Amino acid sequence: MKLRVESTADAQFGTNSYLVEDEDTKDAVIIDANLEPESMVALARRRGVTVCAILLTHTDVDHVAGLNTLLRELGPLPVAVHDTERHVVAEGKPLRRQWPVQTPPVETVAALEHQKTFRAGSLEFDVLHTPGHSPGGVSLKIDGHVFTGDALFAGSIGRSDFHNSDGRALVDGIRAQLLTLPDETIVHAGHGPETTIGREKRTNPFLTR
């Protein structure tokens, strides 16, 4: 497998969507569906890939708003999410009281389970439950890369001031599931630039104290 990772970010929230491609087979997945799905559709077409699934690190509106456009343009695909946030995708219920945004229900929901492998075409992701920003937050690891959603950012961590957040669980999960990965693992976060596990271990002010 030869992995290639490209991203698009929307202008409003700077939310990253990722196209993760196996260059040997042209199988790909999309991780998170930001507010400008047209950019991701164009990227997938430009790469000539077969998108096999959409994986969600969590279901805040800026990470799921583009789902319907992606599904309309790329065909009915499995949309994989942790069980505790399944209702957001399957029933279109908002994750947060603060942002009561309804999204159209998705019929093709699949499960991301902690410490299990999620297979999509030739791609295999290890699922790591990293809750705290939201109850069903997951990080997705593949071949020296980890996609951390809004758990871990370059130099920061996710917000935990929502009614369904848990700041302690967030830091505990990052330490147990992410900082134990090899230092050279490349971190692709839900917002902002990429980093590495080693750099965050050494310099992230929320984790070094």
Residues that bind Zn ion (CB under 5 A): 60, 62, 150, 190
Instruction: Work out the end-to-end distance of the chain between its first and last CA atoms, rounded to an integer number of angstroms.
Output: 38
Measured at the CA of 173, the angle between CA 168 and CA 178, to 5 degrees, comes to: 140
Nearer to Zn ion by Cβ, of 47 and 159: the residue is: 159
Residue type, 70: L
* Cβ partners under 8 Å of residue 193, min gap 6: 154
Question: Edge-to-edge strands of the sheet including 138-142?
Answer: 117-120, 123-129, 138-142, 145-149, 186-189, 195-196
Provide the minimum distance between the beta carbon of 60 and Zn ion in the complex, in angstroms, as a whole number.
5
Between 22 and 57, CB nearer to Zn ion: 57
Rounded Cα distance, 51 and 29, in Å: 5
Question: What is the smallest separation between the CB atom of 95 and Zn ion, expressed in angstroms?
Answer: 11
Least distance (Å) between residue 200 CB and Zn ion: 18
Instruction: Specify the residue, 22 or 62, whose C-beta has the smaller distance to Zn ion.
Output: 62
What tokens does 183 get?
């230092």
Cβ of residue 27: shortest distance to Zn ion, in angstroms?
Answer: 26
Nearer Cβ to Zn ion (27/60): 60
**Rounded (10°) angle between helices 37-47 and 67-74:** 30
Q: Which is nearer to Zn ion, 21 or 150 (CB)?
A: 150
**Shortest Å, Cβ 2 to Zn ion:** 29
